[in-house]
A and B are shown apart, each in its own frame.
Chain A
Amino acid sequence: MKKIINVTINNKPCELAVESNQTLADLLRYDFGLTGTKKGCDTGDCGACTVILDGDTVNSCLVLAVQADGSMVETIEGLSNEDGLHPLQKAFVEKGAIQCGFCSPGMIMSAKNLLDKNDNPSDWEIKEGISGNLCRCTGYQKIFEAISSQCSKPNSDINPNINQGGPHGKI
């Protein structure tokens, strides 16, 4: 059974009918042609389908399209404009943070949300802020450098022992 929803995608409000069993990822990809949002697993494990929903990053494969009724959705396509690439996208390109590129849109959305909420995250917060976005190509290092370069106080000296810290609850 279809339901009518109102959703704002990349600042454009729209009204449309969706099937109750359709996911937000499929809605974006197949109904809106916003194929920058990728599907790498369809079960919330890889983060390739990351979009920003009402200010928070989500796996859009685990959100029903009907649940987006009344929401604001930001996708990778909303980041760049006629003036060109968003500074974060530019940093990803220049730092070599993209190899196959399949995880990149989701990764960039996570990074954007991280910086939206805190313009100067610590090294550890950057690592954690992309921990749900799997990348099989880069080893995350250049991704990390690209995000670091966009902090309000970029830290050129990344702590070489970053891996030894940890939040509560980890051994």
Chain B
Amino acid sequence: MLLPKFEFHEPASIQEAIELKKKYRTDARLLAGGTDLLVHLKKKLITTDHVISLLRIKDLGQIKNNKESVEIGACVTMARLSESKVIQENFCAIKAGADNLGTHLIRNRATLGGNVCNASPAADTICSLIVYQAHALLESTDGKRELPIESFFMSPGKTDIRDNEILTGFKLSIPGKNCGAHYIQLGKRKSSEINIVNVASFIQFDPSDQTIMNSRIALGSVAATPIRSFHAEKILQNKKASESLFYEAGEAARHKDCKPIDDFRGTADYRKAMIGVLTKRTLDAAFKQVQAQ
């Protein structure tokens, strides 16, 4: 399959990159890992006159540990995320998503920024970023912007990123003690899957009496964008963790929060039912983590 002709740019700094983006705006596509962009170009699903590769910009490939928070560069690959100690220790739901994305070959190229900008409702990292309340870091010649990741997605494939902006990375606060999180995806086979549904859950406990102080649950593949399950979270609030509570939360997520569609990967009914199961299981796994602490 042939790639269409385009002009290739390889800026060495964020400054150079945002200048290029300002110049070409929608005539340019940003290239990170290329595992989606190049496929879409080959299949002629999109066209472009300019491709701006971000891989030479060193800053974008770093994970910075600032003790209270972590900054993940947009071009950090799934493989690097998965290997990173600070991610493993503090953001295991992100690691779980990174470990599940595509295949080992794709994970060596696919980036966190790319996965987010691709804005698929089934994306493997977004639900986890939402439950950790990540902020997207954006930059343009007009300056910098920070957006809560939850309000970043507009519709499938569309984000709140402006034509002259570049996503440079993500900022995440390191969760304190008594927190647990987990991410599970459901597919037809065990590798190289496109999710039927996927769920991430985060819970924080009161250490004195094991009640849930805080929780966030994000559901994938059941709406135009990954969504929060507020009804489920409400059910958990100030309650003691138990299997039946998690089941109840799962049922709330299933019946009240998701609006999936039928497609060739699965029907809406099945997706809803699985949201219930996955919500329950992620909560259960998150709870077990806290217990093990």
Residues of A within 8 A of B (CB): 1, 3, 19-23, 42-45, 47, 50, 56-59, 62-64, 66-67, 110, 128-133, 166-171
Contacts and interface: CB of A to CB of B under 8 A. Distances in A.
Nearest to B37: A62
Nearest to B9: A20
A50 B105 contact: yes
B185 interface: yes
A44 B96 contact: no
A59 B10 CA distance: 20
B103 A169 contact: no
B8 A20 contact: yes
Contacts of B100: 167, 169-170
B103 A131 contact: yes
Contacts of B109: 58-59, 62-63
17 contacts: A20-B5, A20-B51, A23-B3, A42-B42, A43-B1, A62-B109, A67-B10, A129-B104, A130-B104, A131-B104, A132-B106, A132-B192, A133-B105, A167-B99, A169-B182, A169-B183, A171-B186
Contacts of A50: 105
Interface in B115-133: none
Contact of A66 (B1, B8, B106, B190): B8
B4 A62 contact: no
A21 B42 CA distance: 10
Contacts, number: 111
Contact of A132 (B7, B31, B53, B104): B104
A170 B96 CA distance: 8
Contacts of A169: 96-97, 99-100, 182-185
A32 B191 CA distance: 32
A132 B33 CA distance: 16
Mostly, the B contact residues are mixed
Contacts of A42: 1, 42
B60 to A, nearest CB: 14
Given A62-B34, A171-B184, A45 B192 contact: yes
Interface of B: 1-8, 10, 31, 33-35, 38-39, 42-43, 51, 53, 55, 79, 92, 95-97, 99-100, 102-106, 108-109, 182-186, 190-192, 278, 281
Residue among A20, A47, A62 with the highest chain B CB neighbour number at 10 A: A62
Contacts of B7: 1, 20
B284 to A, nearest CB: 12
A132 B39 contact: no
B27 to A, nearest CB: 15
* 9 pairs of A and B residues whose beta carbons are closest in the complex: A132-B103, A169-B96, A20-B8, A132-B105, A21-B3, A131-B191, A168-B96, A42-B1, A56-B108
B4 A57 contact: no
A3 B8 contact: yes
Nearest to B4: A21
Given A57-B105, A168-B182, A132 B43 contact: no
A131 B192 contact: yes
Contact of B79 (A44, A45, A56, A170): A56
Contacts of A131: 103-104, 191-192
A3 B5 CA distance: 13
Contacts of B35: 44, 59, 62
A56 B99 CA distance: 16
B192 A66 contact: no
Nearest to A167: B99
Contact of A20 (B2, B6, B95, B106): B6
Contact of A43 (B6, B8, B42): B42
Contacts of B6: 20-21
Given A20-B51, A44-B106, A62 B38 contact: yes
A166 B185 CA distance: 13
Given A67-B10, A131-B104, A168-B183, 5 more contacts: A21-B3, A131-B191, A132-B104, A132-B191, A171-B184
A88 B108 CA distance: 22
A75 to B, nearest CB: 15
Given A44-B105, A47-B105, A132-B106, A21 B5 contact: yes
